[in-house]
A and B are shown apart, each in its own frame.
Chain A
Amino acid sequence: MNKTLISCQGISKVYLKGKQEIIPLNELDLEIIQGEFLALMGPSGSGKTTLLNILAGIDSPSKGKLYFNDQDISQLKRRQLTSFRAKNMAYIFQLYHLIPVLTAYENVELPLLTHRMSSKERHKRVCKALELAKIADRADHYPKQLSGGQEQRVAIARALVTDPPLIVADEPTGDLDQESAQAILTLLKSLCTDLNKTVVMVTHDPKAAAYADRTLFLEKGVLITGDYNVVH
């Protein structure tokens, strides 16, 4: 049995828009286990991205505690939080967000540029990540020479290159055709089964969620566990 990677205790997020309070997350409890593939679903504006950002250490909760490997990260200062992200997590976006002036290889190398590491070691890691994402044959291509599915593979390789325990993905297949989407989902799933990565994925698509070990539903900032079809 794998241990708990992330533990959220009574997490809330409050935004102030003028005098109006927006509460995308309300007193939320959640445990995520290492090696698990977790899908987050819910209507637009239900707080999925906000939760993902908090789990990834990009945003901080307004209230509550967030433990990552038993370390409370909800109290970290900005600088510490940035170091935390460099070591422990990677983000995959719907629109890939690769750097257009860099080749696939260089894009994957990017997160390592600020790490203390020999160029030989860096090269080894980039090649390995490209292979794991099955995109090594396009290493020299620029993003504009790649299809959406291939771009997302490069983004996944970029996520793998620092070998973080957590990978979060915000609608990673939202911009892809069905075939590419399935390939990407299979790849994400294999990261959990083969590499023991924890993947938290936001999706609108029940077919995508079906790849996950567990699916959670967010509605008005509250989590509902179970089958989407049963809930709706």
Chain B
Amino acid sequence: MWFINLSLLSFKQIRRHWLRSLLTIAGAACGMFLFMTVETFQDGLKNATEMQAGDDTLVVYRDKRFCPFTSRLPEDYSNKIAQINGVKSVVPVQVIVNNCGTSLDTITFRGFPEGEFHNYFAGKEIDSTLFDSWKLASDSAILGKEFAQRRGLKAGDRFDAAGITVRVSGIMESDDPQDQNTAFVHLDFLQKSSKRGLGEVTQFNVKVNDHTLLDQVAKEIDNTFRYDREPTHTRPEKAFIANTAKDMIELISFTRWLGLAAVLAVSFLITNTVIIAVRGRVIENAVMQAMGFQMEHLTWMTLAEGLFMGIIGGFTGIASAYLFLSTGNFAISAEGLSIVFNIQLETVLKASILAMIISFVAGIYPAFHSIQGNLVNRLRSH
């Protein structure tokens, strides 16, 4: 019971220096906002790199090229690849990115031959009826849900990016973040619209009969084209994505420290404010102790002050980050690999618990400080 009574008292103490408290709460909010954003970055990155990259898929790229702009391979390589032992299917893919650098609003066009969508999406849970209407027109595109939401597009709409104009024939839901910011189009249409010319593709997606054959088949493909005009570099899809994501991983991993710093800053800020508050109330505390308040009562009042400010500020920050990230549909892309920043409920939970822990911890030193020293001396200290 005293627990609640004294919490209410702490709440009144917070209002005593309302500007100071408000600034602290605002600081805690900013810190937790930053933490949430960084965590969401990290989640997005993890999602993108731990995607269900096919265990039996190889990606054939132009050797020593790293961007879809510069990887150019003749489409007819697919015939030779198909003849290699252990190859189950070959899908030539043209990838056009509206922005090859790192950007927050990217769309990746992926073109593949009309009949190959089964092979392209093999192993993924995709609504295949979407492709019935897609097949009907050469300029039709199926959009990833994330991108469609961000741009507010629905079936029947036209949109253009990177000089390519398409008509939306459907919106696709997929668990794979790589599909979220993609427009799937017809290969020949994309080749014409991008002025790359027919017969040129960015990569081949090769499925093998058995994943134990991955290395062997990759080697054989690269050997086949070693002395051609466009030599290839073939890797398992997982390694391909990990390599593409390398720079981003480095960049985003670094932000983990930002998140940690934000959390520490919140903690220090609250500690500072509560300490100042407690120092201004030495006699008040002593008077309460004189009237029979025990150590746990005084300690709790100080802890509650930190907790309240931390929780109010923390939850404000978490809520604003949630609104910001979930309405923004942000995604970052580099070299055709996209990372989608979808706020996870788990992140909200994690941040909430963390906010409570740090605001509790923030009050420990001030609470200790508030009961330090001899009661008689503190009563005399005016």
Contact = CB atoms under 8 A, between A and B. Distances in A.
Interface stretch (A65-73, A90-98, A181-189): A90-98
B350 interface: no
B377 to A, nearest CB: 10
Given A58-B375, A97-B283, A101-B16, A110 B291 contact: yes
Interface stretch (B7-15, B90-98, B309-317): B7-15
Contacts of B1: 116-117
Contact of A85 (B9, B283, B292, B297): B292
Interface in B1-30: 1-2, 5-6, 9, 12-13, 15-16
B292 A113 contact: no
Interface string B290-315: 11111101000000000000000000
B379 interface: yes
B6 A93 contact: no
Contacts of A115: 2
B16 A85 contact: no
A114 B290 contact: no
Contacts, number: 65
A25 to B, nearest CB: 13
A3 interface: no
B5 A114 contact: yes
A132 interface: no
Contacts of A113: 2, 5-6, 9
B292 A110 contact: no
A104 to B, nearest CB: 14
B288 interface: yes
A82 interface: yes
Given A113-B2, A113-B6, A82 B12 contact: no
B293 to A, nearest CB: 6
Contacts of B5: 113-114
A59 B16 CA distance: 31
A76 to B, nearest CB: 13
Of residues B287, B294, B375, which shows the largest number of chain A Cβ atoms within 10 Å of its Cβ? B287
B292 A79 contact: no
B323 to A, nearest CB: 33
B376 interface: yes
Nearest to B374: A59
A23 interface: no
B294 A79 contact: yes
Contacts of A82: 289, 292-294
Given A114-B297, A116-B1, A97 B12 contact: no
In this complex, the interface size class of chain A, counting residues with CB under 8 Å from chain B, is: 20 to 34
B15 A101 contact: yes
Of residues B6, B292, B376, B380, which shows the largest number of chain A Cβ atoms within 10 Å of its Cβ? B292
B284 interface: yes
Given A82-B292, A113-B9, A95 B16 contact: no
A111 B6 contact: no
Given A53-B376, A114-B2, A97 B294 contact: no
A56 interface: yes
A18 B289 CA distance: 28
B74 to A, nearest CB: 79
Nearest to B293: A114
A58 B292 contact: no
Given A97-B284, A116-B1, A58 B13 contact: no
A161 B2 CA distance: 17
Contacts of A162: 291-292
A139 interface: no
A99 B284 CA distance: 7
A33 interface: no
A100 interface: yes
Contacts of A101: 12-13, 15-16
Interface in A141-171: 158, 162
Nearest to B16: A101
B382 interface: yes
21 contacts: A53-B379, A58-B376, A59-B375, A82-B294, A85-B292, A91-B287, A101-B13, A101-B16, A102-B12, A106-B12, A110-B9, A110-B288, A113-B5, A114-B5, A114-B6, A114-B292, A114-B294, A114-B297, A116-B1, A117-B1, A162-B292
Interface of A: 49, 53, 56, 58-59, 79, 82-83, 85-87, 90-91, 93, 95, 97, 99-102, 106, 110-111, 113-117, 158, 162
Interface of B: 1-2, 5-6, 9, 12-13, 15-16, 283-284, 287-295, 297, 375-376, 379-380, 382
Given A82-B292, A87-B292, 7 more contacts: A56-B290, A58-B290, A58-B376, A101-B12, A101-B13, A113-B6, A116-B1
